[in-house]
Structure 1
Amino acid sequence: MVPENLDIVRFAPRGKNSFYETVLTKVNTYLKTQQISPYANAGMWIKAFVMLLLYTAPYVLLVTGIGANNIWIFLGLWFLMGWGMCGIGAAVMHDANHGSFSSHKKVNRFIGYLLEMIGGYSVNWKIQHNILHHTYTNITGLDEDIDSITLLRFSPRQPRYWFHRYQYIYAWGFYMIMTLFWMTVKDYMQAIRYKHHNLLIKQKVSLKQAISSITLYKVFYYGYIVVLPLFLSGQPWYTIVFGFLLMHFTAGLFLSCVFQPAHVMEESSFSLPVNVDGTLRMEDSWAIHELVNTTNYAPRSRILSWFIGGLNYQIEHHLFTGVCHVHYRKIAPIVKATAKEYGLPYNEQRTFLQALYRHAGMLKLLGRK
């Protein structure tokens, strides 16, 4: 269903005194009266430093050979780097590439380049995440977060095959290789696809520039993450490769477990646009579409919320991408009360494990219906 021009997809108008207009007013009033900047506070800057340290400190220890005397310590350092990847990706880079870390674009751009440091390409990320996922959440053919490989069925609107009956078992294995696939071939595939759909040019990047940049960043990434340890750590190549894979399996599985229960849930509507006089139109307004396709979880877990960048408050994140995640916990009650006021659902799971259990149940359901 992917249209050549995404602008032909239209959401219903939000209307005067609508849910979105009301919740915007309430949240903006709260931030103003409490004299809270929507951007990062001191705690956010400290978190950014801690997450960066969680990734770089183990790397320095393993590449200098200090942590290479014992193989279990050596592999433990790679394991810690996996968690550092999660922290940088979910709690630092994510806000910066949304433009919500700082009011200064140059600061956001600089911090956003942490994605390149851990092997990604921020131009592709902004297209997939900011444009496609946040605008067309759970719309098959437009949201690449659910348009995955054929072996995984994340929407009832996608074709179902016999092997999907077992996806609730094997999906976790694919989750483990998510970042590994991303840091190897995914960026190249996306660049070519985005060129075809005129999405690269909107980022003022040509396909040649994108391929060149991706290649340069990948050479830099694999140079420091694999080649340097091979020469400097004193460990055999197979131990380094195993550690590298351990890092990615850790990050891939955890990040997938953070993002997937936010949308691939039985409560989500997975609605599609209908063709009206040549224009694809959605029945709901954009804000309501986001509300009915998003689920929060573990609202009382401050430790989890701190580490994953407030992404357990996924509803607030989707409605207020310009607000730094450190403020989500405070604005969540406002959003929840406003949704109730308008008779709209506010999907929420009590714990992280409960959300994962419900997500696994949805994978099982999608394999049978």
Structure 2
Amino acid sequence: MPASPSTIVAPPPALASPPSERAGGSDFAPLSRRVKESGLLDRRPAYYARAIALNLAATAAVWAAIAWAGGSWWVVLLGVPLALLSARTAFLGHDAGHRQIARTARGNKWLGLLLGNLLLGMGHGWWSDKHNRHHANPNHVGKDPDVGEGVLAWTEEQAARQRGPLRWLARHQAWLFFPLLTLEGFNLKVGSALFLRGRSRGARLLEGGLLLAHTAAYLGLVFALLSPGKAVVLILVHHALFGVHLGAVFAPNHKGMAMPEPGARWGHLRRQVLTSRNVRGGVVVDWLMGGLNYQIEHHLFPGIPRCSLRRVRPLVMEHCERVGLPYTETGLVESYRQALGHMREVGSELRAEAARR
């Protein structure tokens, strides 16, 4: 009998090795065949055409409201819907990067460039490179850039190597995580620009030209509609909330889940399921998280259209139960508790060290 939708089956956060493999990664093959035969992998162009059109119309409506309310400081509150709609654009760019929208790789690439570089100011090439490495080895230190060395520490070893202000930050990173996300909207744009340095001349011209067009249009529009003071505050509100929104979507997906040890060789099914966490919550959570609350299904079938993720979930749950593989699904608040709990645990030795001084 499949696990009920309310079931929470959670592996330990630092699983050293997976359950015994049966014929390597072949446990995934029966599930793959079943999902393919169900038709759930088929493209849904009408769904995406509607989603893109509605998002563009809503974004235009917010800018019209900014023009109408430009004489009042209340206009800066329109940074809230602007951030929400920017996140919707990012989710659509994400889906294009996974070739979920158009039927050809070329079509998806151009959608990614237009949605990411032009409309959002976030480089499609930079995101694709980083995100594809994450999907290939989720939560695998040394292979997944999302758990690499950086401002935050994802393992005790990384925390121990932090120095100076970063060492203090590692001690308190669970409390500082969401405040730090207010910088992520700007960080995404900086990372996109820096990535172009190592690209070919053609890629630099195309992606860089679209990024410059976005920057010129965005700054030109906001400073044309608002006084300099209001324009700066609106930009800060927009990008701060955009960063928090994206970070709040991605944080529950893998943080606090299994992290393969160096040299571990897991089959596709175990590599993707054991490192991922689903988030329950119905249509509201589906919308806010852009379908990425079905993280297990998304990682197993990255090319599946977003609107099919909910429908493929029962098939995945049933298969995981059949092969004896833990399937982790929690509520939204619990997902943050687990993710932040992992970050707090990583910094525990540094806090103990500070207390001994």
Distance, in Å, in 2 between the alignment partners of 1:348 and 1:103 is 31
Who is 2:181 aligned against?
A: 175
CA RMSD after TM alignment: 2.3
Who is 1:122 aligned against?
A: 124
Q: For the Cα contact (< 8 Å) 2:183–2:240, is it kept in 1?
A: yes
Distance, in Å, in 1 between the alignment partners of 2:88 and 2:249 is 12
Who is 2:13 aligned against?
A: none
Match of 1:23 among 21, 31, 35: 31
Number of matched pairs: 322
Who is 1:101 aligned against?
A: 101
Amino acid in structure 2 at the alignment position of 1:42: A
Distance, in Å, in 2 between the alignment partners of 1:53 and 1:154 is 39
Amino acid in structure 2 at the alignment position of 1:328: L
1:321 Cα deviation after fit: 0.9
Pair 1:241-2:232 in alignment: yes
Instruction: Report Cα offsets for 1:108-166 as digits up to 9, x if no partner.
Output: 23321200121011111111112x1100111122211222523x112345243442121
Who is 2:54 aligned against?
A: 50
Amino acid in structure 2 at the alignment position of 1:360: L
Distance, in Å, in 1 between the alignment partners of 2:261 and 2:196 is 25
Distance, in Å, in 1 between the alignment partners of 2:332 and 2:42 is 26
1:214 Cα deviation after fit: 4.6
Q: For the Cα contact (< 8 Å) 1:188–1:211, is it kept in 2?
A: no
Instruction: Report Cα offsets for 1:251-275 as digits up to 9, x if no partner.
Output: 110111111110011xx2211332x
Distance, in Å, in 1 between the alignment partners of 2:105 and 2:265 is 35
SS of equivalent residue, structure 1 residue 158: helix
SS of equivalent residue, structure 2 residue 85: helix
Distance, in Å, in 2 between the alignment partners of 1:14 and 1:257 is 36
Q: For the Cα contact (< 8 Å) 1:296–1:312, is it kept in 2?
A: yes
Q: How does 1:210-359 map to 2 (within 5 A)?
A: 210-230=203-223, 232-233=224-225, 235-265=226-256, 268-274=257-263, 282-298=264-280, 300-349=281-330, 351-359=331-339
Q: For the Cα contact (< 8 Å) 1:155–1:264, is it kept in 2?
A: no
1:358 Cα deviation after fit: 1.8
SS of equivalent residue, structure 2 residue 265: strand
Match of 1:190 among 190, 195, 208: 195
Q: For the Cα contact (< 8 Å) 2:278–2:329, is it kept in 1?
A: yes
Identity %: 21
SS of equivalent residue, structure 2 residue 292: coil
Match of 2:340 among 357, 360, 368: 360
TM-score, length-normalised on structure 2? 0.83
Instruction: Report Cα offsets for 1:291-337 as digits up to 9, x if no partner.
Output: 11111111x41122134321000010011011111101011011111
1:70 Cα deviation after fit: 2.3
Q: For the Cα contact (< 8 Å) 2:156–2:347, is it kept in 1?
A: no
Change (3 A) 1:136 1:54: same
Change (3 A) 1:22 1:187: same
Amino acid in structure 2 at the alignment position of 1:228: L
Gaps of 5+ in 2: 1-19, 350-357
Higher RCO (CA < 8 A, seq sep 6+): 2
Distance, in Å, in 2 between the alignment partners of 1:315 and 1:304 is 16
Change (3 A) 1:240 1:319: same
Amino acid in structure 1 at the alignment position of 2:153: R
Amino acid in structure 2 at the alignment position of 1:81: L
Amino acid in structure 2 at the alignment position of 1:358: Q
Distance, in Å, in 2 between the alignment partners of 1:273 and 1:348 is 26
SS of equivalent residue, structure 1 residue 100: coil
Instruction: Report Cα offsets for 1:41-100 as digits up to 9, x if no partner.
Output: 5344322222223323212442xx32313221x21222211111111112x111111111
Q: For the Cα contact (< 8 Å) 1:261–1:356, is it kept in 2?
A: yes
Q: For the Cα contact (< 8 Å) 1:14–1:285, is it kept in 2?
A: no
TM-score, length-normalised on structure 1? 0.80
Amino acid in structure 1 at the alignment position of 2:55: M
